[in-house]
Amino acid sequence: MSFYQSLPLPAVRLQDEVFAPRIRTGIERTLPGAIERCRETGRLDMFRLQWRPGMPNRPHVYWTSDVAKVLEGLAMDYELTRSPELGRQLEELVELVVSAQEPDGYLNPPFTLINPQDRWKNLFNWHELYCAGHLMEAAVAHFQATGRRNFLDAACRFADLIDREFGPGPEQRHGYPGHEEIELALCKLADAAGNPRYRKLAAYFIDERGREPNYFLLEGEAFPTEASPDQLINRQAHRPVREQTEAVGHAVRALYLYSGMADCADAAGDAELLECCRKLFENIENRRMYLTGGVGSAARGECFTMDYDLPNDTAYAESCAAIALAFFADRMLRHTGDAHYAEVLEKCLYNGTLSGLSLSGDRFFYGNLLEVSESTATSGHQCRERQPWFDCSCCPTSFCRFLPQLGRFCFLAGNGEAALIIPAAGHVVCSPAGAPVAFDVSGRYPYEPEVAVTVRGSGRFTFSIRLPEWCPEVGIQLNGAPVSGRMERGFCKIDREWRPGDRLSLHYAMPVRLLRSHPAVAANAGRAAITRGPLVYALESIDNGPRPSQLILDQDPDFRLASAPDGLPPGTVAVSARARRETRTTAGSLYAPGSVSSEPVRVTAVPYALWQNRGPAEMLVWMRCDD
């Protein structure tokens, strides 16, 4: 049973300078844009079941997931705004989607239209269970937003069909998804529909995975699927999940699986499975994660590679993978109550996820590099300039459903506690001790250290303040006087009878910190990264001239905070530092003895998530430095 629970979406209303504007542009630009792209590309039309071979816009096996993710986001945006227009759109799209359900419960137009005879025959590649999972998540979001059961019931009929089809019985398929996601979705559906069978099915998918004889290999003998023993690792199906200790294979698949494992472990009190999740998380955090929270170093296969393989200029670090890591970290935080998991969560939220989205809300990175130079070509154009859409458009649709949840990550409740995870300004309502209590969080976090929390309500409960590990000291005062609390699991926990108007003054010391990487990360030899609080900073050529790789940070960098350059949101804090600009000369030759000179400069670093919002640029996170 979870230590903490997520709050309902509308219970956290952010008013900060980083997340709140992103939520707003998500509603105003990202979501409408994605609906429009789904319309233009035929993704919506396919639910009318009128597509026929030879017509344009041939439905692709993953298209249902795109629509489901957009629908999930739309339901959440509606829940946050109660906008009648969004509500109308929501019901219209839900009706369209549900109308495509087959009598037996199957709901996935590409198969209904193109190859109904091939259902479940290519779990390895064909995304059927993945799409089903996203439909379930969308249905749950719709139910939570509206209380209406039409979509939820359709999702349950589909889940019932899958539950009949898959399982340990002799007549059932002993398979599991080639792209995980349905595991965590079934857990959500079980809660929303009050049907524990769905969670049991999720547990079946998890524990069957990777067992011998391998289902994907058997499946591939009966039907051409492109599965091979070498590729099982990409699907986390190379061995039973409980024997897996390293994060491997396709990063998004892996993180959705681990999230489902965490949810199943928590619900069942399965300590062994939760321990697996812990180990996998630790492997990611300590060996396979970029400083930004990006994961998955390899473009080929979009996958985890090996310990300390973290190239900057060929990083893949897919936007969806950072979002998935945030989901996994949030679950581990809630299930264990251990603030350590919030460290990775916060890193993802402020850096590697939001970097995938333009400030305008309508352009996207698929991969998130940590270094882009004029000559960085191998990772492709779509990692140098954000694009309006992709053929495989998982990232844009992921943002539709991710942005509305930003508030939910900041504040949790449970075990008689109200827990401040990320002190972004906003208004929160929760019921740590039965009765609703409101909290006003104010301040300019993550740009300024002072945060105030004002209690609007009363009752005896614990107020838990996460102590970020990047923070040398969190100063805590209650109503102007020092206060002490229990230090537990990375929180300062203050138990008391709270009264209306009680005011906590928090000071999160946030000096500029120069970070190094573990010496096994060859890509970062002789380099350091500028950070402040949870923010990772980057040098852009627009602020610092071309070729940021020619800038070398001084031993005494004399860091100063500065106003952000024009074109970034007012209030954004930049960091300036003392450096020198090297001039290498090879007289035009590609290679020559050459000469090197340098001149002193000050450089300006901006938050990594905001790079490439002022036109194409070169960019660098890990900067050369004098030691």
Verify cis geometry, omega within 30 degrees of 0, for the bond prior to 482: no
Q: What amino acid is encoded at 241 in this protein? A: V
Q: Which is nearer to a second copy, 104 or 374 (CB)?
A: 374
Q: Which is nearer to a second copy, 236 or 379 (CB)?
A: 379
Give the whole-angstrom CA distance, residue 457 versus residue 437. 5
The reply on whether position 272 binds a second copy by CB under 8 A is no
DSSP symbols for 440-477: EEEE-TTTSSEEEEEEES-EEEEEEEE--TT-S-EEEE
CB 320 within 8 A of CB 294: no
The reply on whether position 473 binds a second copy by CB under 8 A is no
Tell me, residue by residue from 496 to 535, as one string, x for binding to a second copy by CB under 8 A and - for no binding: -----------------xxxxxxxxxxx-xx--x------
Q: Which is nearer to a second copy, 6 or 353 (CB)?
A: 353
Rounded to a whole number of angstroms, the minimum distance from the CB of residue 94 to a second copy is 37
Tell me, residue by residue from 392 to 411, as one string, x for binding to a second copy by CB under 8 A and - for no binding: --------------------
Only segment of 181-189, 214-222, 458-466, 595-603 that touches a second copy (CB under 8 A):
595-603
Rounded to a whole number of angstroms, the minimum distance from the CB of residue 213 to a second copy is 23
Tell me, residue by residue from 563 to 582, as one string, x for binding to a second copy by CB under 8 A and - for no binding: -------------------x
The reply on whether position 448 binds a second copy by CB under 8 A is no
All residues at 6 or more sequence positions from 489 whose CB lies less than 8 Å from its CB, including other chains: 336, 337, 338, 339, 340
Give the whole-angstrom CA distance, residue 71 versus residue 91. 10
Rounded to a whole number of angstroms, the minimum distance from the CB of residue 390 to a second copy is 14
Q: Which two tokens stand for residue 506?
A: 């928090």
CB 292 within 8 A of CB 608: yes
Residue 291 DSSP code: T
The reply on whether position 592 binds a second copy by CB under 8 A is yes
Residues in the chain: 627
DSSP symbols for 96-107: HHHHT--TTS--
> Cα-flanking dihedrals φ and ψ of residue 272, to 5°?
-65, -45
Tell me, residue by residue from 299 to 318, as one string, x for binding to a second copy by CB under 8 A and - for no binding: xx----xxxxxxx-xx----
All residues at 6 or more sequence positions from 239 whose CB lies less than 8 Å from its CB, including other chains: 210
The reply on whether position 588 binds a second copy by CB under 8 A is yes
Rounded to a whole number of angstroms, the minimum distance from the CB of residue 552 to a second copy is 7
Residues numbered 134-193 forming contacts with a second copy, rule: CB under 8 A: none
Q: Which is nearer to a second copy, 347 or 401 (CB)?
A: 347
Q: In what helix (H) or strand (E) does residue 606 lie, and over which residues does it extend? A: strand 595-607
Rounded to a whole number of angstroms, the minimum distance from the CB of residue 245 to a second copy is 17
Q: Which of 420, 403, 402 has its CA nearest to residue 411?
A: 420
Q: Which is nearer to a second copy, 229 or 594 (CB)?
A: 594
Q: Which is nearer to a second copy, 85 or 230 (CB)?
A: 230
The reply on whether position 590 binds a second copy by CB under 8 A is yes
Only segment of 286-294, 329-337, 419-427, 559-567 that touches a second copy (CB under 8 A):
286-294
DSSP symbols for 47-63: GGT---TTSSSPPPTTH
Only segment of 44-52, 146-154, 293-301, 453-461 that touches a second copy (CB under 8 A):
293-301
Among 285, 302, 346, 540, binds a second copy (CB under 8 A): 285
Only segment of 39-47, 81-89, 291-299, 609-617 that touches a second copy (CB under 8 A):
291-299
The reply on whether position 117 binds a second copy by CB under 8 A is no
The reply on whether position 228 binds a second copy by CB under 8 A is no
Rounded to a whole number of angstroms, the minimum distance from the CB of residue 546 to a second copy is 9
Among 150, 195, 214, 376, binds a second copy (CB under 8 A): 376
The reply on whether position 289 binds a second copy by CB under 8 A is yes
Among 552, 568, 577, 579, binds a second copy (CB under 8 A): 552
Q: Which of 247, 351, 394 has its CA nearest to residue 309?
A: 247
Q: Which two tokens stand for residue 486?
A: 């229990």
Give the whole-angstrom CA distance, residue 198 versus residue 184. 10
Residue 600 DSSP code: E
The reply on whether position 297 binds a second copy by CB under 8 A is yes
Residue 25 DSSP code: H
Rounded to a whole number of angstroms, the minimum distance from the CB of residue 388 to a second copy is 18
**Integer CA distances (angstroms), 415 to 275, 412, 458, 464, in order:** 21, 10, 17, 11
The reply on whether position 390 binds a second copy by CB under 8 A is no
Q: Residues binding a second copy: what is the number (CB under 8 A)?
A: 60
In the sheet with 503-508, reading across from the earlier edge strand, the strands are 12-14, 426-433, 435-443, 450-456, 503-508, 474-478, 481-482
Q: Which of 445, 481, 374 has its CA nearest to residue 15?
A: 445
Give the whole-angstrom CA distance, residue 164 versus residue 170. 12
Binding-site ranges for a second copy (CB under 8 A): 285-287, 289, 291, 297-300, 305-311, 313-314, 371, 373-378, 513-523, 525-526, 529, 547, 549-550, 552, 582-586, 588-596, 598, 624, 627
